[in-house]
Each structure stands twice: as structure tokens, then as C-alpha cells.
Structure 1
Amino acid sequence: DERQMTSCFTSAALSLFYFVTGASQVPNFPEYVEVGLVDELQITHYDSNTRRLVSKQDWMNKVAEEDPTYWEDESDVSLVDQQTFKADIETAKQRFNQTGGFHIFQKMYGCEWDDETDEVNGFHQYGYDGEDFLVLDVKTETWIAPVQQAVPTKHKWEIDKEDLAYKKYYLTQECPEWLKKYVEFGRSSLMRKDLPSVSLLQKTPSSPLTCHATGFYPDRADLFWKKDEEELHEDVVKGEILPNHDGSFQMSVDLDVSGLQDEDWGRYSCVFHLAGGQEVSKRLDKRDIRTNWKTNDGAASLLSVWIAVLAVIGCIIGFFVYKKKHPKGKVETLLSSSGSLMCVC
């Protein structure tokens, strides 16, 4: 689960991460899949069906301008990793005394770089069937084994000091350099920041009040309710960040207003916060709430006009249908005393 494995990431830094998934006996899914992400934007893809590493962003093709054999060389590296991963998942199954069924073995590695402080953090960890299996402590160059079945691997890998030193060098030196290069290539996409439109929605008078923000980018953002200057946590339900069709994102947060006094409404506001410090705030005002249970006077008048228009159209259609069936019939259009149109044949 990528969401679980990225729970340790900070939101302020830029990131380069690779997620590797090995599958055993999983129907309609490749045995091996590898994806690369820069700041949560997918940049590369490789799987055991195609056996080719491919670019997922146009600006990533600039890498080949510097190194024409880049994609071919990296495809060969991924193929070796694929074979290694297949052996690793069989070892894990033996450790857990498993012979059949489908199983997932994952690896996540990469780095975060804060472009303001120049601080770098490296990550390298493994998961098996959705649980942590091994986690590298980059500073101490030791492996942490959350489960007993991973202890033999921990001891074996910690003997190889040269490999540990290389992993630390890659995560703290080489990875950040690649990240900086990718950010420069895709700056227009990666550094994009869009603020959302924020709306207040309510289905019925007894429903929670929803603050909905849509059209923001990137998805490192937060949406919350405040009373005066204090963030609210009680009577609040926050939804997940969801993608829009245009690549932007949306999210919502509900507030229970059933016990809210009229004089207190102005003390509440919905605040959207985008990573980097930009904010949009919308104060709670009944006049701004969009509902499907009431309309203002203008909307009511417009609705009446449409009803009248539809009535006229109905009369015209009825007239032509009647004339077609009764060429010699008599049709009269009367106006009732209430002002509504009536068609009488």
C-alpha cells in the first residue's frame, strides 16, 4: 500500500521515490511493476510484461538528450531487479510458512529534498502483504525488522557493510542530485501551484454543512474549519483528497451545524491551506450556502418563467399533433383567470 509506505514523508519537501511491487499468483496483474514518482507525479513505468522502462512525462525525455542509452540501460537494470524480486518473494513465503495463495512483496526507496533548507532525507524499506517487513535506518546504516520473519535477512544484510555504505550514499547524495535534475526538467509542471474555488454546500437544513474545495494543485494541501482563530476537531468529518479529470484535485470537510446559534455563524470559517503557505478562507454566511432544498427569489422567478415557457411549448406541440389527427377540428387557446395557459380542443 503506497499510502501506508509514504506516511513518513513530510509535505514541504520535494521528493523522488520508486515503488516496486512483486506479485505471486495474483490474477491479471504483472509479476513485477516498478514506478518512479517526482513529487508524487509519475515519471517512469516498468513491468514484467513489457520489460521496458518508459517515460510517463514528456519532459523526462530530456534525460536521453544527455544519455542516449539511458532508457535501454535502465530497462536492463529493472530486468535484473525483477529476477531478484521473484526470488525474494519466494524467500518471504518460506519464512511465513506459506505455500499457496496470492502474495505481494513491495519495496520503496528514494529521497526528500527541502529546497529552502537543503535538508535531505533518505528512505528504503520493504513490505510484505501490506505490513512492514524491513526498514533501513540510514543514519546508523542498520536494518530494522518489525517482524520476526525478517530477522535473518536483517543479520545477513548488515554483514555487507559495502552495500550499506552505497545505499546511504545513493539516498543522501545521488538521489537528491537526480531529483534536482528532474525538477529542473519539469519545473513548469512540478512547481505549479493552483488555488481552488471554495463553496459551502448543504443538502437539507438538518444535514452537515460541507466546505468543498476544487481545482487546487498539488495535492499537498489541507482543508479545515475554524471558530474564531481556533481550528476545530470536534463535529468535523474530513474527506480524502480526490483527483479531478484535468489533473487538479478536490476535497471536502463537513461541519455539524445542528446546534449552531444564528448569532455565532459569523465566527466560523473554512480555510484551505496549500503547501508553501498560500491560503483561501471563506467565512460562514447563510447567503453563500448552495442547497437543493430552497431557492432565492430570483431563482424562484426564473423557475416560474421556465414553467410558463414549457407550458407554451406543450400547447404548440399538442396543437400540431391534434391538427395532424383531426384536420377539420377546432382548436381554441384560452387564458385562464389565474394567468396560466390552457389548450382546449
Structure 2
Amino acid sequence: MKTLFMLLLFCHVSSTVKHSLKYFLTATSGVSNLPEFVGLALVDEVQVGYCDSNIKTVELKQDWMRDFMKDYPKHMEWYIQMCFSEQQSFRANIVDLKQRLNQTEGAHILQSMDSCEWNDETGEVFGFHQYGYDGEDFIALDLQTLTWNALRQQAFTTKLRWDADKDRLEYNKYYLLHECPDWLKKYLHYGRSFLQRTELPSVSLLQKTPSSPVSCHATGFYPDRAMMYWRKDGEEHHEDVDHGEILPNHDGSFQISVDLNLSSVAPEDWRRYDCVFHLSGVEDHIVTKLDKAQIRTNWVSPSEFPAGGVTGVVVALLLLLVLCITGLFIWRKNNNGFRPANRVKCP
């Protein structure tokens, strides 16, 4: 499994010519303090547009995207129209799903992702479009057969109805393999100075408690084509290592963590370990020695814990529990969510 992980990570690092345009749409029912509908647009995993049912407009998140819309005002009108038309469609779909699944109460969430990818070296284009409901994959478009795949038994009725809509199927195919890549290429032209930049991260050693694994955490790097690993005596080390995913930051940069469990390592052997970060396209590596004095932690020993702090800890734990429960409603992008059901190369 570790060998497979490193192989996949290497492939991710080496794919320096693949670009993507993704749209994430989310509708909620019975979820308080959240808009009923949210839409996100991302270019190469960088958020460029946002709309929701509360603000009733489209917000552009990058200066270069604003420049683009000034030159293509009709495209901005398309974004606004799409936001409101999809809002109505999603509202109807979530009502229909609740009725068919006999869900009369509770919180429910419907999400979709449609995306195109373009390899600027080979010219290959891929597209995929899929939906998730209540945190699970629901239905996905198969561009090879131009039919919908029901990913849950409850989606079979939807599949039959959507398969019968031939005009919609043909439009989805044309959009994903032609229109979407054409706009992606235009976006990349306007955002090239931003999207083609390289930024090195700050790297820190973190540890929750003295018995917890030591986390090597890198944040603020760009692009997301990077790898990080632990070494022992100068050799790559896999035992008791947990590799985290590359995650986005709010400013368009990325972060990653790799944990090392030192429970079976003698303190005098810690100096044999170091953490290595490598950003694709950058020759130098960032090497961080495992030095106990450099580990950052917010852990306080019981003897140093103030009695008056107990209430604050209880409140913090309750807030964390609420956040965790809220997070369960979000369709995850890893493992079970947003997996490309199929890819079709544009002829």
C-alpha cells in the first residue's frame, strides 16, 4: 500500500501539463445558517467564482478573472444566469428526492460536480459530471455510452428519466468536451502569471501531546504538484508514517502534512530523522531536521493546567463537536466523493 501511495504521488507530481475547470454546486434542505444554494468555480483548484442564494449575484475571486469578464461581459451574464437557473433546478431536484425517498424531515444535501481537464502537451481533453446526495455518490454521467450510471439503488429512477432526455445528454457531451475546455484555455491565458507561479511553503514540526506522532506540516506552497516524506539516515522512510492529502488554503495556496509515529524510537535516535518537501519544477528541496526543540505544541501538562480553564475546554469541545457534525453533511472530495466515474478523450 505504501508503494502504491508513492507511485500515485509521483504521478501527481509529474503531471505538470494537466489543467482543470470545475464547478461545484450544492443545495441544502433543513440546514440552518447556510444558504440554500451555493456555486463554486475553480481553475486548476483555485477558486475564481462564487454565488449563493443569499447574495443573489456572482462574486469573482481573482483579479485576472475580473479582467477576463471585462473583455467578455456576455460570459459574466452567462455565469449569473447559470447560478439562478441551477438554483431553481437543484431546489426542485432535492424536493423530488425527498419525496421519492420518503424523507419528511431532517437535513439533506444535494451536490454536483462537472469538470473538464485539458493536457496542454498532448491536447487530450477529459470530462466528467456527477451528483452526490447526503454525503454519498448518487449518479454519474458515462460519456462513453452517453448514459447515466446509478451509483445507488435509489438513483435508478433518476437514471431512467435522465437517459430518456437525449438532448440534455448531447449538450452535456458537447459542453464537457468542447465548450468547457475552450473557456478553460481562455481562463489560463488571463491567469497565467498567477497560475504558473511557484511559491515555497513554510514548514513546521507539530505535535499534539508528547506521545502523539510528530507532524511535518508545509503550508503556503503553489502549485499543488508537490511531495513530502520522512527520511531516516538519509533514506526515504515508510514505517509508522501517515501521509496526508494536499489541501487548499483560503488564499489559493496549498498545505500538506506527513505524520511520523515515534513511540518505538529512542529519544537519542530522533536526530536520524528529517522531513523533505519537494515542489515540482523547483530543484532545491526543503529539509527539516527532527529536533525536539523545534516542535510546536499547545499541549499543557495537567500540573500546569489552571482550574478555571476547565469550563473553557468543555465549551471548546462542544464547539468542535458541532463543527464535526456539520462537516458530516459535506460531500467529501476524497475516497467516496467526487471520483471521476469515467473519462472520455475528446476526438
Using the size of structure 1 for normalisation, the TM-score is 0.70
**Higher Cα Rg, which structure:** 1
State the match for 2:89 in structure 1: 84
Stretch deviating more after TM superposition (160-169 or 258-267): 258-267
State the match for 1:175 in structure 2: 180
Match for residue 211 of structure 1 among 213, 216, 220:
216
CA contact (8 A) 2:241 2:260 kept: yes
State the match for 2:323 in structure 1: none
CA contact (8 A) 1:194 1:218 kept: yes
After superposition, the Cα gap between the structure-2 partners of 1:279 and 1:238, relative to the gap in structure 1 and judged at 3 Å, is farther
Task: Give the CA deviation at 1:157.
Answer: 1.4
DSSP-derived class of the 1:14 partner? strand
Confirm whether residue 26 of structure 1 aligns to residue 31 of structure 2: yes
State the match for 1:65 in structure 2: 70
Using the size of structure 2 for normalisation, the TM-score is 0.70
Match for residue 190 of structure 2 among 160, 168, 185:
185
After superposition, the Cα gap between the structure-2 partners of 1:33 and 1:258, relative to the gap in structure 1 and judged at 3 Å, is closer
Task: Give the CA deviation at 1:32.
Answer: 1.3
Confirm whether residue 56 of structure 1 aligns to residue 61 of structure 2: yes
> Could you report, residue by residue, the CA deviation over 1:186-211 in whole angstroms, capped at 9, with x for unpaired residues?
11211121123445567998764443
After superposition, the Cα gap between the structure-2 partners of 1:141 and 1:246, relative to the gap in structure 1 and judged at 3 Å, is closer
Q: In the TM superposition, what are the counterparts of 1:99-110 in structure 2 within 5 Å? A: 99-110=104-115
Task: Give the CA deviation at 1:267.
Answer: 6.7
CA contact (8 A) 2:47 2:252 kept: no
Task: Give the CA deviation at 1:174.
Answer: 1.2
Task: Give the CA deviation at 1:65.
Answer: 3.2
CA distance in 2, matches of 1:202, 1:32: 38
CA contact (8 A) 2:206 2:215 kept: yes
Stretch deviating more after TM superposition (128-137 or 241-250): 241-250
After superposition, the Cα gap between the structure-2 partners of 1:32 and 1:244, relative to the gap in structure 1 and judged at 3 Å, is closer
- What stretches of structure 2 of length at least 5 have no aligned partner? 1-10, 298-347
CA distance in 2, matches of 1:219, 1:60: 20
Task: Give the CA deviation at 1:39.
Answer: 1.2
State the match for 1:290 in structure 2: 294
DSSP-derived class of the 2:174 partner? helix
CA contact (8 A) 1:14 1:113 kept: yes
> Could you report, residue by residue, the CA deviation over 1:28-63 in whole angstroms, capped at 9, with x for unpaired residues?
222111111111111111211232223121211233
- What stretches of structure 1 of length at least 5 have no aligned partner? 1-8, 294-345
Match for residue 121 of structure 2 among 97, 116, 120:
116
After superposition, the Cα gap between the structure-2 partners of 1:276 and 1:178, relative to the gap in structure 1 and judged at 3 Å, is farther
State the match for 2:165 in structure 1: 160
Aligned residues, how many? Answer: 284
Stretch deviating more after TM superposition (195-204 or 37-46): 195-204
Give the letter aligned to residue 120 of structure 1: V
Q: In the TM superposition, what are the counterparts of 1:1-345 in structure 2 within 5 Å? A: 12=15, 13-198=18-203, 208-227=213-232, 231-239=236-244, 241=246, 248-260=253-265, 268-275=273-280, 280-282=285-287, 284=289, 290-291=294-295
Task: Give the CA deviation at 1:269.
Answer: 4.4
> Could you report, residue by residue, the CA deviation over 1:171-196 in whole angstroms, capped at 9, with x for unpaired residues?
11111111111111111211121123
After superposition, the Cα gap between the structure-2 partners of 1:260 and 1:103, relative to the gap in structure 1 and judged at 3 Å, is closer
CA contact (8 A) 2:203 2:288 kept: no
After superposition, the Cα gap between the structure-2 partners of 1:198 and 1:102, relative to the gap in structure 1 and judged at 3 Å, is closer
CA distance in 2, matches of 1:143, 1:292: 50
Identity of aligned residues (%): 55
